[in-house]
Structure 1
Amino acid sequence: MLSLATRLRALDDATLRAALEARMVAPTGIKDFFDLADALLEPSAVQKTLTHLDRASLSVLATAGELIRSVAAEAARLNALDPAASTPLAPAVPTLTDIAEHLSSVSGVEVTTEHVAAHAAELDSVLLCLLADGQLSPYDAVSAQLATWPAQGLPSTTELATLAAPDALAPASEFDITFTNRLAAERAFASVSSIAELVSELARDPARELSRGGLGLPDTKRLALVMGVEVDSVAVLVAIAARAELIAHSEGYWMETETGEAWLLHPTPERWATLAEAWHADVPRSVRDILPQEPGIVWGSGLQGFVDWMYPAGGEWMAAQVAEFARSAEILGITAQETTSVAGAQLLSGDPEAAQATMTDSLPTEVGAVYLQHDLSIVAPGPLAPSIDARLRSLADVEGRELASSYRITAASVNRALAAGENADTMLAFLGAISLTGIPQPVQYLIEESASRYGRIRVGSLPAGSAPNQSYVRSDDAELLGTIAVDQTLSALGLERHDHQLITRFASDLVFWALSDARYPVAAEDSAHEIVHLRRHQVARVIPPTPVDPAQTLVDKLRASDGSEVMAADAWLARQLDSAIRSKATVMVSISMPGGVVVDYLLEPASVGGGRFRARDRRADIERTLPISSILSITPAP
């Protein structure tokens, strides 16, 4: 612990912060570098870090510890044979070459020094060992924890080096690959369509996030119905959409973002690419490195077996991560029936452009024309181009969302379009341009009639100071205004008659949409009684949270606890002596003698008090009492 504490204090801030982040150190109870060293060498903390190491790194670490124990045992045997030796033999620290040669001998496979060096550097960076001058020395607590592994059912040092990887993941047949690609394209199209419905629905009616997390059951059922999926799939699709920032959590609600609004206008292959790339970017590196990057490879139990072999102590957390991303991969068509599709393999190998091109060839061709029916329905003979679909949604209600979508024009939907700035001419021109059957008379009549009636009812905000009343409803048609006043579907608005208008305490936009949904020819107006166009939904802006870096906070706290250089030096010496006494460790103490001479003593401190400390001189085998003020440095014994 003393040597680790000394090392921690000497690290620069950037290196120390990176190490603390990698070790996931909780700052609670850590006041100085000795507390930090204690926390890092706690068996549970060591085990937690070991579970995140792959087999190759664990082999290097365990082998280094085993070589040190072997050399220490030999040194102890030789010292016992010659107890009168003036300089007892000290255990040697293995070099990287020693470790490579030992692993090669045990495993029967050549292990290069470069291979060992790469893993040793990683182990050193997470403070499990010390790499210096080409030598690797695991901390005692780390080696002790690895020594307990066989009793826990985890691999021993020899098993880490010798247990071969499981058989390669099974490839599918050529027929199966063709089927896989077809099924993957179907799932990709279905997921893109479902998420498009999700984004559109949240634009119309945001879903509330529960305080404990997740959506409430009513919102979940509503979204499942709109998306055409099972209730259990809603959370996964919400997560996929949120990962791509198409929706965001804002003020307690899930809402569409500006990114989502733009995404709805993109062609289906581009939509899929956005979702797939966001999925890939969010896959942890530890998971990404083990996912098969060849098409036609079956994941399934073979992948799980490989995960267990690669991360022998991290099966549970790694399996959970793989399972989470594997489910999303199935939904997005990156895999189909646990088999990598061609587009999925291209994405996993780092070529998203090729993946999008492959998916473009596999997805259904988009159409740009529809059939307008006399019953006011609109039927698309295939998946509509997103730009046409978005425009149709503004003036018609969606009735069916499959390969052939269907819509229906209603008085409320036309009124909604009018409120957004459309007029009869623009709507009829648009429908005429995309219709394969012209514009049936009932459609034209409904649009023109609705446009002529639009604005017979006006909603506006009352002047400031009119609280608690916020808005009004007015109309020249007194009978129509009376109908609104007694309409039970609008009773929640609390409309009250006042002169020639109705007033309510609710905001004008809420009143407007309530009347619009009730199919009244309502328009919003400003203070000058000019018609204004309203946007029904709010857009959530994705604002990155203020980053909180607990690792950097802990670094700052540790540096502040050091105080001034003089105070830090005195406190550091006292803690080093106290730590050495508790652990009965031997340390090298440099003492400034009269005349400026510096003498190094190999001491085992026994007590501290009165500005002096008492210790056993291991070389002279006598007890010494020395002034603390004369100490220049204390370092762990070699």
Structure 2
Amino acid sequence: MDDQALTRLLHDREVKPNGIRDVFDLADALLDRSSVQQALARLDRPTLAVLAAASAGTLDDIDDPTQRLQRLHGLALLDAEPEAPATAPLVYDSVNEQLDSWPSLGLPSRDDLISGSAPAALESVSTTDRRFIDRAAADHAFGATTAVAELLAALELQPARELHRGGMSLPDAKRLAASAGVELDAVPAVRRIAENAQLAQLAGGLWSAAPLAAEWADRATAARWTHLASAWLDRLPPELREVLVERLHAVWGEGFADYVDWFFPAGGDRMRERVSEHLADAERLGITASGAPSTAGMHLLRGEPAEAEAAMAELFPGEVEKVYLQHDLTIVSPGPLAPAIDARLRRIADVESRSLASSYRVTRQSLTRALGGGETAESLRRFLASISLTGIPQPLDYLIGETSSRYGALRVGAIDPSAATPGTADASARSYVRSDDTGLLGTVAVDQELSAIALEPVGPHRLISRFPVEVVLWSLHDARYPVVAEDAEGRTIEIERPRTRQPAPEPTDPVAALLTRLRDTRTVEPEETGQAWIARQLEQAVKARTIVDVTVTLPNGSEAVYRVEPTGLAGGRVRGRDAKADIERTLPLSHISAVTPLP
């Protein structure tokens, strides 16, 4: 088995690297009965039927078992003897023993696995029902896509803290629920959908928007949905996808749960929870509605994402490019805005509500934010006039003019310590705040909200701080002062706020480290490997208190076979009771050439 196949095996079998020192430990871990049961619990009934037939020697009765045999081999549940035909694979003893115990655990026997019949067929969906299903699915899909977009926007502004015991902190969860427009208990599901689509990430104990989120937000709503739905499909276990594809025209209700229990006979609560989570996400994303696949969902499951997107786009509300500007400084969109317009409007105004008819509110702070991002009074008026169905109301026009005239009343710049006169205040400062408005500067100097940046007056028109210019700039901005940054020549410059979005952390795979360690153990001399295998067999015999035949090379070169029950292994020697002579023997490991378990 090459490293790629071995990596897949260890991931699929969920092998824990702790305690595995060499390939013998790995073999023990894979053949452990509890590990075998865990692997069997994830197998579907047709694959289990092939395993049962291989165990019973009746593979000839199974139609085309090759693919399922390959999967079983990949899970290290069986192997093929080199000299045997492909139809006579060897099922490992621990697997056979576990299958033997199934009836006592309330699980199907080998015969039941091979010949058991499926539950009754599921209820089919009529053409009339399909129309209602598609409408409901479109509502779900639009709502979920919108909720994910708003959650990502909220994470972009402020990351959310993950608790050590798991789960998001309650204040952050409430904030995200309000932003996404969902109930508090729906936040984990929306976050999970975003994470599965690689749009949200957890790093350093904080949930934040992933780098892909910005590009995703620029897409049309239907394209956003396709990305989320495709991510759901990618995470769907292949065997479950096969079940769903075979039942595209049926209702996935309680009858489907019964079928899943039959199809995964040893899956238990874990499989039910996995299936329940997948189906709940499918319902939220509009892949299903009321437990039945939508037309878009059917296309998706068939591997037709373009057709799925087209089917959903037909039912989504059309995007608009015009809004109503109100006298109370609100902006109302009569439908979902085109992504480019929505993105620019968010830089100018704050989102108040998000639905089919979204609303935004323009404030002095939001306009200051826009001006700081490169907008001017003229560009703001021009953009708003181009999207308005009602012109620009006088209160909004006045606020734009007033805010732009005050914008830059405070100017923040960096101080070069090397250029400062030694012994002066500037020599220990890193930034300054200046203004021609002495009253405004005096207000800033005594503002308790700004005490953290330790502003110190050095004249009627100047304050200094020991903190960097970006810290001072954004502290003043957050305190709602009309502030801009400038360079050494007094030209206005833009300094971005440190982004909350972090690059996705490099995944650390403990399996890769384990394989490296195992690979290193394989570089030892063959003789050492053989001695290790002999020692391992004797250790197992000591633990199991079993009798083995030990072949010992004598000084004259001949060999002697002792049938012993090993009782201890230490100091390069094995002690044990000779089953034939009924005496205690101590044999040097270096002289033992073979250990053979009794049949």
Which category describes the TM-score, using the shorter chain as reference length? 0.7 to 0.9
| Cα offset, 1:630, TM superposition | 8.5
Residue of structure 1 aligned with 2:469, choices 508, 516, 525 = 508
Are the structure 2 counterparts of residues 495 and 585 from structure 1 closer, same or farther at C-alpha, using a change threshold of 3 Å? Answer: same
- 1 CA distance for matches of 2:137 and 2:304? 17
Counterpart amino acid of residue 531 in structure 1: T
Residue 474 (structure 2) pairs with residue 484 (structure 1): no
| Cα offset, 1:361, TM superposition | 0.7
**Normalization by structure 2: what TM-score?**
0.85
Counting only pairs closer than 5 Å after superposition, residues 106-505 of structure 1 correspond to structure 2 as 111-112=62-63, 114-115=64-65, 117-132=66-81, 133-134=84-85, 135-292=88-245, 295-464=248-417, 470-490=430-450, 493-499=453-459, 500-504=461-465
Counterpart amino acid of residue 119 in structure 1: R
CA contact (8 A) 1:592 1:632 kept: no
Residue 527 (structure 2) pairs with residue 563 (structure 1): no
- 2 CA distance for matches of 1:254 and 1:136? 48
CA contact (8 A) 1:240 1:275 kept: yes
CA contact (8 A) 2:201 2:504 kept: no
Unaligned runs of 5+ in 2: 419-425, 581-585
| Cα offset, 1:216, TM superposition | 1.4
| Cα offset, 1:496, TM superposition | 3.8
- 2 CA distance for matches of 1:158 and 1:384? 60
| Cα offset, 1:122, TM superposition | 2.8
| Cα offset, 1:246, TM superposition | 2.3
Counterpart amino acid of residue 112 in structure 2: E
Are the structure 2 counterparts of residues 564 and 446 from structure 1 closer, same or farther at C-alpha, using a change threshold of 3 Å? Answer: same
Counting only pairs closer than 5 Å after superposition, residues 516-555 of structure 1 correspond to structure 2 as 516-536=477-497, 538=499, 540-550=501-511, 553-554=514-515
Question: Alignment RMSD, CA only?
Answer: 3.6
CA contact (8 A) 1:52 1:313 kept: yes
| Cα offset, 1:287, TM superposition | 3.2
- 2 CA distance for matches of 1:178 and 1:456? 60
Residue of structure 2 aligned with 1:59, choices 40, 49, 57 = 49
- 2 CA distance for matches of 1:15 and 1:589? 35
Are the structure 2 counterparts of residues 52 and 17 from structure 1 closer, same or farther at C-alpha, using a change threshold of 3 Å? Answer: same
CA contact (8 A) 2:299 2:307 kept: yes
- 2 CA distance for matches of 1:434 and 1:16? 58
Counterpart amino acid of residue 432 in structure 2: Y
SS of alignment partner, residue 290 of structure 1: helix
- 2 CA distance for matches of 1:441 and 1:52? 66
| Cα offset, 1:518, TM superposition | 4.0
| Cα offset, 1:358, TM superposition | 0.7
Are the structure 2 counterparts of residues 30 and 615 from structure 1 closer, same or farther at C-alpha, using a change threshold of 3 Å? Answer: farther
Partner residue, 1:43: 33
Are the structure 2 counterparts of residues 289 and 445 from structure 1 closer, same or farther at C-alpha, using a change threshold of 3 Å? Answer: same
Counterpart amino acid of residue 324 in structure 1: E
- 2 CA distance for matches of 1:519 and 1:157? 73
- 2 CA distance for matches of 1:409 and 1:587? 87
Are the structure 2 counterparts of residues 562 and 200 from structure 1 closer, same or farther at C-alpha, using a change threshold of 3 Å? Answer: closer
SS of alignment partner, residue 448 of structure 1: helix
| Cα offset, 1:610, TM superposition | 8.1
Partner residue, 2:422: none
CA contact (8 A) 2:323 2:388 kept: yes
- 2 CA distance for matches of 1:440 and 1:610? 95
| Cα offset, 1:293, TM superposition | 6.0
Are the structure 2 counterparts of residues 435 and 197 from structure 1 closer, same or farther at C-alpha, using a change threshold of 3 Å? Answer: same
CA contact (8 A) 2:283 2:290 kept: yes
| Cα offset, 1:59, TM superposition | 2.7
SS of alignment partner, residue 289 of structure 1: helix
CA contact (8 A) 2:208 2:500 kept: yes
Q: Which moved more, 1:405-414 or 1:243-252?
A: 243-252
| Cα offset, 1:226, TM superposition | 1.6
- 1 CA distance for matches of 2:563 and 2:53? 30
- 2 CA distance for matches of 1:523 and 1:445? 21
CA contact (8 A) 2:49 2:110 kept: yes
| Cα offset, 1:269, TM superposition | 0.8
CA contact (8 A) 1:458 1:473 kept: yes
| Cα offset, 1:12, TM superposition | 5.5
Residue 24 (structure 2) pairs with residue 27 (structure 1): no
| Cα offset, 1:282, TM superposition | 2.1
Q: Which moved more, 1:348-357 or 1:368-377?
A: 368-377
The C-alpha deviation readout for 1:326-358, integer Å capped at 9, x for no partner, is 222122111122221111111122111111111
SS of alignment partner, residue 351 of structure 2: strand
The C-alpha deviation readout for 1:272-315, integer Å capped at 9, x for no partner, is 11111122212233433333465553222122112111111112
Are the structure 2 counterparts of residues 324 and 585 from structure 1 closer, same or farther at C-alpha, using a change threshold of 3 Å? Answer: same
Q: Which moved more, 1:190-199 or 1:469-478?
A: 469-478
| Cα offset, 1:423, TM superposition | 0.8
SS of alignment partner, residue 16 of structure 2: coil
| Cα offset, 1:388, TM superposition | 0.6
| Cα offset, 1:538, TM superposition | 0.7
| Cα offset, 1:389, TM superposition | 0.9
| Cα offset, 1:323, TM superposition | 1.5
- 2 CA distance for matches of 1:290 and 1:462? 67
Q: Which moved more, 1:33-42 or 1:222-231?
A: 33-42
CA contact (8 A) 2:23 2:518 kept: no
- 2 CA distance for matches of 1:605 and 1:558? 34
The C-alpha deviation readout for 1:55-114, integer Å capped at 9, x for no partner, is 22323333444x4xxxxxxxxxxxxxxxxxxxxxxxxxx3xxx3334xxxxxxxxx33x3
- 2 CA distance for matches of 1:604 and 1:391? 84
SS of alignment partner, residue 399 of structure 1: strand
The C-alpha deviation readout for 1:206-244, integer Å capped at 9, x for no partner, is 323333333211111111112211111112112212222
CA contact (8 A) 1:177 1:295 kept: no
SS of alignment partner, residue 58 of structure 1: helix
- 1 CA distance for matches of 2:476 and 2:366? 12
- 2 CA distance for matches of 1:14 and 1:244? 25
CA contact (8 A) 2:157 2:500 kept: no
Q: Which moved more, 1:491-500 or 1:257-266?
A: 491-500
Counterpart amino acid of residue 493 in structure 2: V
- 2 CA distance for matches of 1:602 and 1:345? 67
- 2 CA distance for matches of 1:551 and 1:480? 60
- 1 CA distance for matches of 2:176 and 2:73? 49
Q: How many residues align?
A: 578
CA contact (8 A) 1:414 1:450 kept: yes
- 2 CA distance for matches of 1:420 and 1:388? 16
